[in-house]
Structure 1
């Protein structure tokens, strides 16, 4: 993943644990849970993104994420910067944005919807590299037969997010 040089970040505490948010001038560029796979090195100080807790996009993202996790918000209204991904990854992430709260799909169905029915593994890899967890709802993608598989933030967190959304339906 290649992030813009103007990327800034902040850390917040949520009911699902610590979360790091990152933004550029274009919009929210990242949301990662503590311990999540594909955690960007820049959040570990290599090189570091500047802390900017007062950045308007980061403040909006933090507020909307807290509302969502409290069951008070079903979707997000934020500018997004998905430019860190390849064109294929961005297409997968855009398809994820079309999944409504409380609904799920499978990796195979997502591949089919993208017109790439034989690219299930590539689609699954792109889902797994989603840099904006929850907001770009990769947790809504299940394995065949509805099994809970492959969530970079951990399967217990995926189950909790899906349960939260079922409670909002």
Structure 2
């Protein structure tokens, strides 16, 4: 699993060289970057899910919806030529990480009412269609990256670089960084 320490180590090793050290060799763009970015996008949508649920009777845990998502992912995986078990495994991590974000936001909003969202998005009309789009794209990326998602150092380095790109590109705070670690940490086997 990718850890915050691994991200910190990667950032430290990719810092610009000083003195007369030879420049680092050019690295190819990480192959997992699109998949990790989709995981980050999905986590950012967890904010909208939390805003829709906060202060209502809608619980964070929604086993029926989770089953629906996983059944859809299994179907999309089969259509894409991906082992449905791989798709479902990846999305279980996405769902759990999304719930972690929701719990974190609920706690923050309980402690700081002034930070509570002013808008309650419509889950069915606004949020779920975007989650479904991301899910379909992520299944395609899982299929496209199948050959590189092995438990190797190369994959782990690619994953770490992709995570750093997503963290900085989306300006993820600590809650979302931790959730991304959980959502993407098992990508390499």
Q: If the length of structure 1 is used for normalisation, what is the TM-score? A: 0.29
Please state which structure has a larger fraction of its residues in strand.
1
The structure in which a higher percent of residues are helix is 2
TM-score computed with the length of structure 2 as normaliser = 0.27
